[in-house]
Amino acid sequence: MLTILVVAFSGCTEKQATKEPIQDKNNTIKEAGIGLQTANASSFLEDFNSINDPYKKTLFATGQGQRNASISNYENLTDALTKLQAKYKDNLPSEIKSDKQFSGDMMNVSDIVSGVKDEIYSGNLTDAHAKLEEVRPIFQQILTRNGLLPLSVALVDFHDTMELILDAANNKDAAKVLEIYPKADEKLRTVESISENPGVKAIRTNLDDLMNLAKENKSDELPAKASDLKASYVKVYLATG
């Protein structure tokens, strides 16, 4: 099995999330008006950015069931990871040098990414997507315990609760939407504390519109608004460096 050093972070971009093609990412970035937000300048996060883009594209393509895009982006990802492995072989950057769990985490993620090769090239892309998602909690822990909090971390933290409210909305369960909303609101406020760009504002608008529809018991309108919320989230997620 190929051993690669992986430094990436992910969020879920399922097949149902949006029909926006991968090649439209530049337009997405422009529309969302967003880049990676960090508490301080970081050479580690610069390296993170160099692989984060192909990682997310691979995740997105597998979620969309796009074989050619999955293969192309996976190859870009493994190439970027190989370069990072060479750079970090003898000297870790100062931000993570004292992190005793870093090497073990990297081994775990290396196994995950290497292990989806067959699925990417000829197997089940849904399985590949699910396996790639397993790196997310690992890297959330790395970034948070080393005091590196990019916008992507807050977005993925919000995502987990958002998925619950989307499920409730798609089931036309207004009461459940209202039950989950306070937690989603709290998570989104963390995102807003990092960035107030137009993309994040669109997420806020759609989340609150969903809550208002639930309050008015307009259950039949909930699935469409849930789709709007999901699409606005994916735009910001893809545009985050």
Tell me: the pLDDT tens digits for 59-102?
989 999 999 999 999 998 888 888 877 888 788 888 888 888 87
Q: What is the pLDDT of residue 241?
A: 56
Q: Any idea what the Cα angle at residue 75 is, between residues 89 and 17, rounded to 5°?
A: 115
Q: What is the pLDDT of residue 35?
A: 38
How far apart CA 12 and CA 15 sit, in angstroms, is 10
Structure tokens at 32: 């969302």
Close Cβ partners of 38 (under 8 Å, ≥ 6 residues apart): 45, 148, 149, 150
Most confident region among 1-5, 50-54, 78-82, 103-107 by mean pLDDT = 78-82
Helix ranges restricted to H, 33-134: 43-64, 67-88, 102-115, 117-121, 125-132
Tell me: the pLDDT tens digits for 8-42?
444 444 433 333 333 343 443 333 333 333 434 46
Most confident region among 12-21, 42-51, 115-124 by mean pLDDT = 115-124
- AA letter at 240: T
Q: What is the pLDDT of residue 174?
A: 97
DSSP 83: H
Tell me: the pLDDT tens digits for 134-188?
877 777 777 777 877 667 778 888 998 999 999 999 999 999 999 999 999 988 9
Q: What is the pLDDT of residue 96?
A: 87
- Number of helical (H) and strand (E) elements in the chain, helices listed first: 11, 0
- Label residue 7 by pLDDT band (50, 70, 90): very low
How far apart CA 195 and CA 207 sit, in angstroms, is 17
